[in-house]
Amino acid sequence: MSTFVLTCAYTVVCMVKARGGDSNRKIYFIFSADCRGRLDPPIPQNYIGNCISSQHIVIKAGVSMEECGVAMIAERISGMIKGLEKGLFEGAKERLLELASIEPGAEIIGVTGSSRFEDYSWDFGWGRPNKVEFTGNARGGVISLARSREGNGGVEIGLALKRHEMENLVSFFVNDLKNFAQISK
């Protein structure tokens, strides 16, 4: 599985746990997919226009609480991405209708950026950036991803939550990583 899939699945699980609440509530996880290489003929990678497609999965919050919640959500995200190879626009109308029918107040978690973008390599004449941040995170419910400035394969994750939710998230994030490290030994 890709870095994007695993990072998103893990972060979504930690966010849902941190927020608590009804385990039967729906969570909409929304992300954008790069369409350039998936079109026939493909669009060159140096094309800088808008060539993305909105994708989403719907999960029950309780899935995040399960022991294998990360794996289950990662499998759903990965399946959605793999499905794009079969037909980029297949089911697009239904996906848009489902997104348009989301009830007010529904829990939505979106992702912006990517661990594949080389955000720290940009130089507009002042040198490389010291820090890359996405401003849309301030309203909550948005995960931003950026390739690590160090270029060592790491991923920078940005998000904003209410104070108590953020404290819970940090606890889940760190402790669950420790548990994964123990299991993988």
Q: Over its length of 185 residues, how does the chain's per-residue pLDDT go in tens digits? A: 899 999 999 999 999 999 998 999 999 999 988 888 888 888 888 887 788 888 899 999 999 889 899 999 999 999 999 988 877 777 788 888 988 898 888 899 999 887 777 777 888 888 888 888 776 666 678 998 988 888 787 899 989 899 999 999 999 999 888 877 777 66
CATH number listed for the domain at residues 3-183: 3.30.559.10
Partners of residue 156 on adjacent β-strands? 146
Please report the pLDDT score of residue 25 as a whole number. Answer: 92
Please report the pLDDT score of residue 127 as a whole number. Answer: 87
Interatomic CA distance for residues 85 and 15, integer angstroms:
29
Interatomic CA distance for residues 39 and 36, integer angstroms:
6
Please report the pLDDT score of residue 85 as a whole number. Answer: 80
Single-letter amino acid code for the residue at 104: P
Q: DSSP assignment, residue 179?
A: H
Contact by Cβ (8 Å): 28, 109: yes
Partners of residue 33 on adjacent β-strands? 53
Interatomic CA distance for residues 79 and 4, integer angstroms:
13
Cβ neighbors of 53 (< 8 A, separation 6 or more) are: 32, 33, 35, 84, 88, 89, 92
Q: What angle, 0 to 180 degrees and rounded to 10, lies between the N-to-C axes of helices 3-19 and 163-183?
A: 130
Contact by Cβ (8 Å): 94, 33: no
- Measured at the alpha carbon of residue 84, what is the angle toward residues 58 and 92, in degrees to the nearest 5? 60
- CA nearest 178: which of 2, 14, 9, 5? 14
Interatomic CA distance for residues 90 and 59, integer angstroms:
21
Interatomic CA distance for residues 95 and 173, integer angstroms:
31
Contact by Cβ (8 Å): 107, 141: yes
